[in-house]
Structure 1
Amino acid sequence: YAEQKYGDKPEYLWERFPQFAAIRKHENKKWYCLLGTVEKSKVGLKGDEIIEVANFKIVPKELPELLKKPGYLPAYHMNKKSWVTVVLDGTVPLTEIKKLLDKSYTLA
């Protein structure tokens, strides 16, 4: 979606962490999405299964409402005030994920 709409491809920037990719605005190289896989326990969920997640930049005042919704978590490995993590297991509808990505893009 990011590539089709904005021309930005995921970049695998870390040799040590090949399961993570950043999507950056091509104009200014600022991140607006971080994709990866993590153990559930690392994001505050029960279990040690590996899950797919995406981090999105957000307006900080929107965070409390987002965290009340299923599938939304405090940001993994990012600023917990201006980023949010979304579990990519179908809990959050794709249309909502696209809106998050669009908003994140404008904030980057």
Structure 2
Amino acid sequence: MAIRYPNGKWFGLVMNVPANKLGLSGTDEIDVVDLKVDSELNSILQVQPGFLPGYHMSKVHWISARLDEFNSVDELADLIEGSYNATV
């Protein structure tokens, strides 16, 4: 599911992805959201629990957040807003 602007352009993408396609062990599907982030923030987040390099996106400018690692969307709100602003 794409998270879109009213004009149809998207700034986030929610997906079910097999764990092995994310570089993890197993084949269970994991819910992730891809968000655009600054390259410096990306390198910081990729070493934090719950974050992976952007799936099917530029690994420098996009991050995948594992939704099962967060209790609410509020914990990702700043990243969602940042992705919105970065893709305007």
Question: What's the TM-score once normalised by structure 2's chain length?
Answer: 0.88
Distance 1:65 1:45 in 2: 19
Aligned position for 2:54:
75
- Matched to 1:105, the amino acid is Y
1:106 aligns with 2:85: yes
- Large movers: runs of 4+ above 3 Å: none
- Alignment match, 2:76: 97
1:26 match: 6
Size of the aligned set, in residue pairs, is: 86
Q: Is the Cα–Cα contact under 8 Å of residues 22 and 34 in structure 1 kept in the other structure?
A: yes
Q: 2: distance between equivalents of 1:93 and 1:57?
A: 21
Alignment-derived partner of residue 63 in structure 1: 42
Pairwise CA RMSD: 1.3
More strand by share: 2
* Structure possessing the higher radius of gyration over alpha carbons: 1
> Higher RCO, 1 or 2 (CA under 8 Å, sep at least 6)?
2
What TM-score, normalized to structure 1?
0.73
1:31 Cα offset (Å):
1.8
Cα distance between partner residues in 1 of 2:75 and 2:39: 18
